[in-house]
């Protein structure tokens, strides 16, 4: 059971990370290319959040919680968990920003869109950085075990 949880957790982290990177790429491809492209962007980003990103980080949270329940928790492991939880919390906020940004774009409130877009990209960077640190710590801790 533990190995299935770990495998599911690792797969979900991979899907989540790939999703975050992919979203960054289509943000770079469509943002600033005009309102029609930005409307496509916000719609696409919302769909990816709903169909891929939210399920992926939810699976990471649930499998991580199950694995923590039976783990020997040492200080470095707590730091890794902290970065993982930080990534999830930042991603939840990011999803909220993505939905608000989409609503602003569809309502033709482009000043609000720009403000939310700026915040969403800042927190998106926090998500990616926290995932990378958690993965680095996981690799380090695995090498010590």
Mean pLDDT of the chain: 94
131-140: pLDDT as tens digits? 999 999 988 8
3-32: pLDDT as tens digits? 899 999 999 999 999 999 999 999 999 999
The model carries a pTM of 0.92
Report pLDDT for 43.
Answer: 97
The domain locations on the chain are 2-144
Report pLDDT for 75.
Answer: 78
DSSP letters along 18-54, please?
HHHHHHHHHHHHHTTS-HHHHHHHHHHHHHHIIIIIH
Average pLDDT over residues 72-93: 91
The torsion of the CA quartet 50, 135, 89, 28, rounded to 10 degrees, works out to -50
């Amino acid at each position: 059971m533990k190995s299935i949880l770990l495998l599911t957790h690792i797969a979900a982290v991979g899907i989540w990370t790939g999703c975050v990177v992919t979203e960054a790429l289509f943000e770079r491809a469509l943002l600033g290319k005009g309102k029609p492209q930005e409307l496509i962007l916000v719609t696409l980003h919302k769909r990816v959040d709903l169909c891929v990103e939210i399920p992926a980080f939810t699976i990471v949270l649930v499998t991580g919680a199950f694995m923590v329940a039976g783990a020997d928790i040492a200080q470095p492991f707590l730091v890794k968990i902290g970065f993982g939880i930080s990534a999830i919390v930042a991603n939840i906020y990011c999803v909220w920003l993505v939905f608000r940004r989409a609503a602003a774009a569809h309502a033709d409130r482009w000043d609000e869109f720009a403000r939310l877009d700026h915040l969403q990209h800042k927190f998106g960077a926090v998500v990616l950085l926290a995932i990378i640190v958690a993965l680095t710590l996981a690799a380090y801790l695995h090498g010590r075990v």
